[in-house]
Structure 1
Protein backbone atom coordinates (compact mmCIF):
# COMPACT_ATOMS: atom_id res chain seq x y z
CA UNK A 1 0.00 0.00 0.00
CA UNK A 2 1.37 3.40 -0.96
CA UNK A 3 1.21 5.96 1.85
CA UNK A 4 2.98 8.71 -0.07
CA UNK A 5 5.41 8.98 -2.95
CA UNK A 6 8.50 6.94 -2.13
CA UNK A 7 11.59 9.15 -2.17
CA UNK A 8 14.50 6.71 -2.50
CA UNK A 9 15.14 4.18 -5.25
CA UNK A 10 14.37 0.51 -4.59
CA UNK A 11 16.98 -1.89 -5.91
CA UNK A 12 15.41 -4.54 -8.14
CA UNK A 13 16.39 -8.01 -6.85
CA UNK A 14 16.60 -9.23 -10.47
CA UNK A 15 19.28 -6.62 -11.22
CA UNK A 16 21.23 -6.86 -7.96
CA UNK A 17 24.82 -8.09 -8.10
CA UNK A 18 27.54 -9.21 -5.70
CA UNK A 19 26.83 -9.17 -1.96
CA UNK A 20 23.50 -7.46 -2.52
CA UNK A 21 22.30 -10.30 -4.75
CA UNK A 22 23.41 -12.85 -2.15
CA UNK A 23 21.64 -10.97 0.65
CA UNK A 24 18.48 -10.64 -1.44
CA UNK A 25 18.55 -14.38 -2.17
CA UNK A 26 18.95 -15.21 1.52
CA UNK A 27 16.20 -12.74 2.45
CA UNK A 28 13.86 -14.21 -0.15
CA UNK A 29 14.56 -17.72 1.12
CA UNK A 30 13.86 -16.67 4.71
CA UNK A 31 10.80 -14.48 4.12
CA UNK A 32 9.49 -15.52 0.72
CA UNK A 33 9.92 -11.93 -0.45
CA UNK A 34 12.52 -9.17 -0.53
CA UNK A 35 10.81 -6.37 1.43
CA UNK A 36 10.92 -2.78 0.23
CA UNK A 37 12.99 -1.81 3.28
CA UNK A 38 15.81 -4.13 2.14
CA UNK A 39 15.46 -2.87 -1.44
CA UNK A 40 15.93 0.71 -0.28
CA UNK A 41 18.71 -0.20 2.15
CA UNK A 42 20.52 -1.85 -0.78
CA UNK A 43 21.29 1.58 -2.19
CA UNK A 44 24.28 1.20 0.13
CA UNK A 45 25.31 -2.48 0.12
CA UNK A 46 27.56 -2.00 3.15
CA UNK A 47 24.63 -0.71 5.20
CA UNK A 48 22.43 -3.59 4.05
CA UNK A 49 25.09 -6.17 4.91
CA UNK A 50 25.81 -4.59 8.29
CA UNK A 51 22.12 -4.49 9.15
CA UNK A 52 21.56 -8.11 8.11
CA UNK A 53 24.66 -9.24 10.01
CA UNK A 54 23.56 -7.56 13.26
CA UNK A 55 19.96 -8.80 12.99
CA UNK A 56 21.18 -12.31 12.21
CA UNK A 57 23.63 -12.32 15.13
CA UNK A 58 21.03 -11.08 17.62
CA UNK A 59 18.43 -13.54 16.34
CA UNK A 60 20.78 -16.53 16.40
CA UNK A 61 22.88 -15.83 19.48
CA UNK A 62 21.12 -13.09 21.43
CA UNK A 63 19.38 -13.70 24.73
CA UNK A 64 16.04 -12.08 23.86
CA UNK A 65 13.33 -14.31 22.40
CA UNK A 66 11.71 -13.54 19.06
CA UNK A 67 8.56 -12.46 20.91
CA UNK A 68 10.46 -10.01 23.09
CA UNK A 69 12.40 -8.64 20.10
CA UNK A 70 9.13 -8.10 18.23
CA UNK A 71 7.59 -6.39 21.26
CA UNK A 72 10.53 -3.98 21.38
CA UNK A 73 10.22 -3.35 17.64
CA UNK A 74 6.49 -2.62 17.98
CA UNK A 75 7.08 -0.19 20.84
CA UNK A 76 9.87 1.63 18.99
CA UNK A 77 7.87 1.82 15.74
CA UNK A 78 4.87 3.21 17.62
CA UNK A 79 7.01 5.79 19.45
CA UNK A 80 8.64 6.87 16.17
CA UNK A 81 5.34 6.83 14.25
CA UNK A 82 6.79 4.49 11.62
CA UNK A 83 3.83 2.91 9.87
CA UNK A 84 6.13 0.80 7.69
CA UNK A 85 7.93 -0.79 10.65
CA UNK A 86 4.76 -1.02 12.71
CA UNK A 87 3.18 -2.98 9.85
CA UNK A 88 6.21 -5.28 9.49
CA UNK A 89 6.41 -6.06 13.20
CA UNK A 90 2.66 -6.41 13.74
CA UNK A 91 2.74 -9.07 11.03
CA UNK A 92 5.95 -10.76 12.19
CA UNK A 93 5.00 -10.53 15.85
CA UNK A 94 1.64 -12.22 15.40
CA UNK A 95 2.46 -14.56 12.51
CA UNK A 96 6.06 -15.55 13.20
CA UNK A 97 6.92 -14.83 16.85
CA UNK A 98 3.64 -16.15 18.26
CA UNK A 99 2.31 -13.00 19.90
CA UNK A 100 -1.43 -12.69 20.23
CA UNK A 101 -3.05 -9.62 18.74
CA UNK A 102 -3.64 -8.35 22.29
CA UNK A 103 0.05 -8.85 23.19
CA UNK A 104 1.17 -7.01 20.06
CA UNK A 105 -1.24 -4.17 20.73
CA UNK A 106 -0.09 -3.86 24.35
CA UNK A 107 3.55 -3.90 23.23
CA UNK A 108 2.87 -0.78 21.14
CA UNK A 109 2.02 0.93 24.44
CA UNK A 110 5.04 -0.57 26.21
CA UNK A 111 2.96 -3.05 28.19
CA UNK A 112 3.15 -6.81 28.74
CA UNK A 113 1.51 -9.27 31.14
CA UNK A 114 4.73 -11.22 31.59
CA UNK A 115 6.78 -9.39 34.27
CA UNK A 116 10.14 -9.96 32.56
CA UNK A 117 8.84 -8.79 29.16
CA UNK A 118 7.25 -5.80 30.91
CA UNK A 119 10.62 -4.91 32.46
CA UNK A 120 12.29 -5.18 29.05
CA UNK A 121 9.64 -2.90 27.53
CA UNK A 122 9.97 -0.41 30.40
CA UNK A 123 13.69 -0.20 29.70
CA UNK A 124 13.20 -0.02 25.92
CA UNK A 125 10.61 2.73 26.36
CA UNK A 126 13.01 4.72 28.53
CA UNK A 127 15.78 4.30 25.96
CA UNK A 128 13.69 5.39 22.98
CA UNK A 129 11.75 8.17 24.72
CA UNK A 130 14.76 9.65 26.50
CA UNK A 131 17.23 9.00 23.67
CA UNK A 132 19.34 6.70 25.79
CA UNK A 133 19.36 8.86 28.92
CA UNK A 134 18.14 6.04 31.16
CA UNK A 135 17.90 7.07 34.81
CA UNK A 136 19.53 5.21 37.68
CA UNK A 137 16.05 4.28 38.92
CA UNK A 138 15.08 2.81 35.53
CA UNK A 139 18.28 0.76 35.36
CA UNK A 140 17.83 -0.43 38.95
CA UNK A 141 14.24 -1.47 38.18
CA UNK A 142 15.45 -3.45 35.15
CA UNK A 143 18.08 -5.21 37.25
CA UNK A 144 15.57 -6.02 40.00
CA UNK A 145 13.35 -7.58 37.33
CA UNK A 146 16.20 -9.90 36.35
CA UNK A 147 17.89 -8.12 33.46
CA UNK A 148 21.66 -8.52 33.41
CA UNK A 149 24.03 -5.94 31.99
CA UNK A 150 24.13 -8.12 28.88
CA UNK A 151 20.35 -7.93 28.57
CA UNK A 152 20.50 -4.15 28.96
CA UNK A 153 23.04 -3.87 26.14
CA UNK A 154 20.93 -6.14 23.93
CA UNK A 155 17.75 -4.15 24.61
CA UNK A 156 19.57 -0.96 23.65
CA UNK A 157 20.85 -2.66 20.48
CA UNK A 158 17.30 -3.70 19.56
CA UNK A 159 16.04 -0.16 20.14
CA UNK A 160 18.87 1.24 17.99
CA UNK A 161 18.05 -1.18 15.16
CA UNK A 162 14.42 -0.13 15.38
CA UNK A 163 15.28 3.56 15.34
CA UNK A 164 17.48 3.04 12.27
CA UNK A 165 14.81 1.21 10.28
CA UNK A 166 12.05 3.56 11.49
CA UNK A 167 14.00 6.62 10.41
CA UNK A 168 14.99 5.10 7.06
CA UNK A 169 11.44 3.99 6.31
CA UNK A 170 10.04 7.39 7.25
CA UNK A 171 12.70 9.49 5.50
CA UNK A 172 12.42 7.40 2.32
CA UNK A 173 8.63 7.07 2.57
CA UNK A 174 9.01 3.39 1.79
CA UNK A 175 5.90 1.80 0.31
CA UNK A 176 4.35 -0.54 2.88
CA UNK A 177 4.45 -4.10 1.55
CA UNK A 178 2.86 -5.73 4.63
CA UNK A 179 -0.72 -5.56 5.95
CA UNK A 180 -0.97 -1.89 6.89
CA UNK A 181 -1.05 -0.83 10.54
CA UNK A 182 -0.88 2.90 11.18
CA UNK A 183 0.50 4.39 14.37
CA UNK A 184 -2.78 6.29 14.71
CA UNK A 185 -4.89 3.11 14.47
CA UNK A 186 -6.70 1.75 17.49
CA UNK A 187 -6.48 -1.73 18.95
CA UNK A 188 -8.72 -3.30 16.32
CA UNK A 189 -6.22 -2.48 13.56
CA UNK A 190 -3.74 -5.28 14.14
CA UNK A 191 -3.51 -7.90 11.36
Structure 2
Protein backbone atom coordinates (compact mmCIF):
# COMPACT_ATOMS: atom_id res chain seq x y z
CA UNK A 1 0.00 0.00 0.00
CA UNK A 2 1.12 3.54 -0.70
CA UNK A 3 2.67 5.40 2.23
CA UNK A 4 1.24 8.82 2.98
CA UNK A 5 3.64 11.33 4.47
CA UNK A 6 2.07 14.17 6.38
CA UNK A 7 2.68 17.25 4.23
CA UNK A 8 4.48 20.19 5.77
CA UNK A 9 3.38 23.79 5.44
CA UNK A 10 5.78 24.40 2.54
CA UNK A 11 4.37 21.41 0.64
CA UNK A 12 0.75 22.59 0.48
CA UNK A 13 -1.04 25.25 -1.56
CA UNK A 14 -0.86 28.85 -0.30
CA UNK A 15 -4.53 28.75 0.78
CA UNK A 16 -3.74 25.75 2.97
CA UNK A 17 -0.61 27.41 4.33
CA UNK A 18 -2.86 30.15 5.70
CA UNK A 19 -5.14 27.52 7.27
CA UNK A 20 -2.08 25.81 8.78
CA UNK A 21 -1.09 29.15 10.34
CA UNK A 22 -4.60 29.60 11.78
CA UNK A 23 -4.65 26.06 13.16
CA UNK A 24 -1.21 26.58 14.68
CA UNK A 25 -2.46 29.74 16.41
CA UNK A 26 -5.75 28.27 17.65
CA UNK A 27 -4.73 24.68 18.50
CA UNK A 28 -1.00 25.01 18.98
CA UNK A 29 -0.35 22.49 16.19
CA UNK A 30 -1.71 21.27 12.85
CA UNK A 31 -3.31 17.87 13.39
CA UNK A 32 -1.85 15.29 11.02
CA UNK A 33 -5.24 14.38 9.61
CA UNK A 34 -6.01 18.00 8.71
CA UNK A 35 -2.56 18.31 7.15
CA UNK A 36 -3.25 15.19 5.09
CA UNK A 37 -6.50 16.68 3.79
CA UNK A 38 -4.36 19.63 2.63
CA UNK A 39 -3.04 17.43 -0.19
CA UNK A 40 -6.19 18.79 -1.83
CA UNK A 41 -5.90 22.50 -2.58
CA UNK A 42 -9.61 22.93 -1.82
CA UNK A 43 -10.30 20.03 0.53
CA UNK A 44 -9.14 21.45 3.85
CA UNK A 45 -11.09 24.72 3.66
CA UNK A 46 -14.15 22.87 2.39
CA UNK A 47 -13.95 20.26 5.13
CA UNK A 48 -13.34 22.74 7.96
CA UNK A 49 -16.30 24.85 6.84
CA UNK A 50 -18.49 21.73 6.85
CA UNK A 51 -17.15 20.51 10.18
CA UNK A 52 -17.53 23.88 11.88
CA UNK A 53 -21.00 24.69 10.51
CA UNK A 54 -23.76 25.39 13.02
CA UNK A 55 -25.82 22.42 14.15
CA UNK A 56 -28.78 21.74 16.41
CA UNK A 57 -26.70 19.23 18.38
CA UNK A 58 -24.72 20.50 21.36
CA UNK A 59 -20.99 19.84 21.85
CA UNK A 60 -21.51 16.84 24.13
CA UNK A 61 -23.94 15.28 21.66
CA UNK A 62 -21.52 15.90 18.80
CA UNK A 63 -18.66 14.26 20.69
CA UNK A 64 -20.83 11.28 21.63
CA UNK A 65 -21.63 10.78 17.94
CA UNK A 66 -18.00 11.33 16.89
CA UNK A 67 -16.90 8.64 19.34
CA UNK A 68 -19.44 5.97 18.39
CA UNK A 69 -19.02 6.57 14.64
CA UNK A 70 -15.22 6.45 14.92
CA UNK A 71 -15.47 3.23 16.93
CA UNK A 72 -17.86 1.72 14.40
CA UNK A 73 -15.49 2.67 11.56
CA UNK A 74 -12.43 1.49 13.54
CA UNK A 75 -10.55 4.79 13.19
CA UNK A 76 -7.84 5.02 15.86
CA UNK A 77 -6.93 8.59 14.91
CA UNK A 78 -10.45 9.93 15.38
CA UNK A 79 -11.03 7.85 18.50
CA UNK A 80 -7.88 9.37 19.97
CA UNK A 81 -8.76 12.94 18.97
CA UNK A 82 -12.35 12.67 20.18
CA UNK A 83 -11.36 11.00 23.43
CA UNK A 84 -9.33 14.14 24.18
CA UNK A 85 -12.13 16.45 22.98
CA UNK A 86 -14.71 14.40 24.88
CA UNK A 87 -12.77 14.96 28.10
CA UNK A 88 -12.70 18.71 27.34
CA UNK A 89 -16.50 18.49 27.08
CA UNK A 90 -16.85 16.91 30.53
CA UNK A 91 -17.03 13.19 29.77
CA UNK A 92 -15.18 10.83 32.11
CA UNK A 93 -12.94 8.04 30.82
CA UNK A 94 -15.66 5.47 31.59
CA UNK A 95 -18.36 7.55 29.87
CA UNK A 96 -16.16 7.82 26.79
CA UNK A 97 -15.67 4.05 26.70
CA UNK A 98 -19.43 3.55 27.09
CA UNK A 99 -20.15 5.98 24.26
CA UNK A 100 -17.72 4.08 22.06
CA UNK A 101 -19.69 0.92 22.94
CA UNK A 102 -22.86 2.70 21.79
CA UNK A 103 -24.44 3.30 25.16
CA UNK A 104 -24.84 5.96 27.83
CA UNK A 105 -26.44 6.12 31.27
CA UNK A 106 -28.11 9.31 30.01
CA UNK A 107 -31.29 8.15 28.19
CA UNK A 108 -31.15 10.97 25.62
CA UNK A 109 -27.48 10.38 24.74
CA UNK A 110 -28.14 6.63 24.74
CA UNK A 111 -30.84 7.02 22.07
CA UNK A 112 -28.53 9.29 20.06
CA UNK A 113 -25.47 7.02 20.05
CA UNK A 114 -27.48 3.88 19.40
CA UNK A 115 -29.09 5.48 16.37
CA UNK A 116 -25.77 6.94 15.17
CA UNK A 117 -24.11 3.52 15.36
CA UNK A 118 -27.02 1.85 13.57
CA UNK A 119 -27.03 4.46 10.78
CA UNK A 120 -23.28 4.02 10.35
CA UNK A 121 -23.36 0.23 10.35
CA UNK A 122 -26.33 0.07 7.99
CA UNK A 123 -25.11 2.77 5.57
CA UNK A 124 -27.88 5.29 6.16
CA UNK A 125 -30.60 2.90 7.16
CA UNK A 126 -31.71 2.37 10.74
CA UNK A 127 -34.13 0.27 12.71
CA UNK A 128 -37.55 1.75 13.27
CA UNK A 129 -37.19 1.02 16.98
CA UNK A 130 -34.03 3.14 17.28
CA UNK A 131 -35.51 5.98 15.22
CA UNK A 132 -38.60 5.97 17.44
CA UNK A 133 -36.45 5.94 20.61
CA UNK A 134 -34.55 8.97 19.24
CA UNK A 135 -37.77 10.94 18.78
CA UNK A 136 -39.15 9.76 22.14
CA UNK A 137 -36.16 11.41 23.81
CA UNK A 138 -37.21 14.77 22.39
CA UNK A 139 -35.10 14.89 19.27
CA UNK A 140 -36.62 16.52 16.18
CA UNK A 141 -36.43 16.18 12.40
CA UNK A 142 -33.82 18.96 12.47
CA UNK A 143 -31.75 16.91 14.91
CA UNK A 144 -32.04 13.85 12.68
CA UNK A 145 -30.77 15.74 9.64
CA UNK A 146 -27.92 17.24 11.70
CA UNK A 147 -27.09 13.76 13.03
CA UNK A 148 -26.81 12.40 9.50
CA UNK A 149 -24.58 15.32 8.47
CA UNK A 150 -22.37 14.77 11.53
CA UNK A 151 -22.08 11.06 10.74
CA UNK A 152 -21.02 11.93 7.18
CA UNK A 153 -18.42 14.40 8.49
CA UNK A 154 -16.93 11.86 10.87
CA UNK A 155 -17.10 9.00 8.38
CA UNK A 156 -15.15 11.07 5.85
CA UNK A 157 -12.40 11.71 8.41
CA UNK A 158 -12.43 8.04 9.47
CA UNK A 159 -11.99 7.00 5.85
CA UNK A 160 -9.14 9.46 5.27
CA UNK A 161 -7.24 8.04 8.23
CA UNK A 162 -8.12 4.41 7.62
CA UNK A 163 -6.75 4.71 4.10
CA UNK A 164 -3.71 6.92 4.75
CA UNK A 165 -2.73 5.65 8.22
CA UNK A 166 -0.93 8.90 9.03
CA UNK A 167 0.51 8.96 12.58
CA UNK A 168 -1.85 9.69 15.46
CA UNK A 169 -0.74 12.94 17.12
CA UNK A 170 -3.11 12.80 20.11
CA UNK A 171 -2.79 10.58 23.17
CA UNK A 172 -3.79 7.18 21.79
CA UNK A 173 -7.27 6.05 22.81
CA UNK A 174 -7.38 2.83 24.82
CA UNK A 175 -8.68 -0.30 23.16
CA UNK A 176 -12.13 -1.50 24.16
TM normalised by structure 2 equals 0.92
- Alpha-carbon displacement from aligned partner over 1:140-181 (angstroms, at most 9, x marks no partner): 221111110110011111111111111110100111111112
Closer, same or farther: CA 140–168 of 1 in aligned 2, 3 Å: same
Residue 71 of structure 1 pairs with residue 64 of structure 2: yes
Equivalent residues, number: 176
1:45 Cα deviation after fit: 2.5
1:137 Cα deviation after fit: 3.0
- Structure 2 partner of 1:37: 33
Equivalent pair of 2:12/2:41 in contact (CA under 8 Å): no
Equivalent pair of 2:118/2:125 in contact (CA under 8 Å): yes
Describe the SS at the equivalent of 2:172: coil
1:133 Cα deviation after fit: 0.9
- Structure 2 partner of 1:117: 109
- Alpha-carbon displacement from aligned partner over 1:68-105 (angstroms, at most 9, x marks no partner): 111111111111111111111111111x2221111111
Aligned-residue RMSD, C-alpha: 1.7
Looking at structure 2, the residues matched to 53 and 80 of structure 1 have their Cα atoms a distance apart, in angstroms, of 23
Describe the SS at the equivalent of 2:52: helix
1:128 Cα deviation after fit: 0.7
Equivalent pair of 1:6/1:173 in contact (CA under 8 Å): no
Looking at structure 1, the residues matched to 10 and 58 of structure 2 have their Cα atoms a distance apart, in angstroms, of 33
5+ residue gaps, structure 1, are: 187-191
Looking at structure 2, the residues matched to 93 and 122 of structure 1 have their Cα atoms a distance apart, in angstroms, of 17
TM normalised by structure 1 equals 0.85
5+ residue gaps, structure 2, are: none
From 53, 65, 71, give the equivalent of 2:49: 53
From 144, 147, 150, give the equivalent of 1:152: 144
Alignment of 1:6-45 (within 5 A): 7-45=3-41
1:15 Cα deviation after fit: 4.8
- Structure 2 partner of 1:189: none
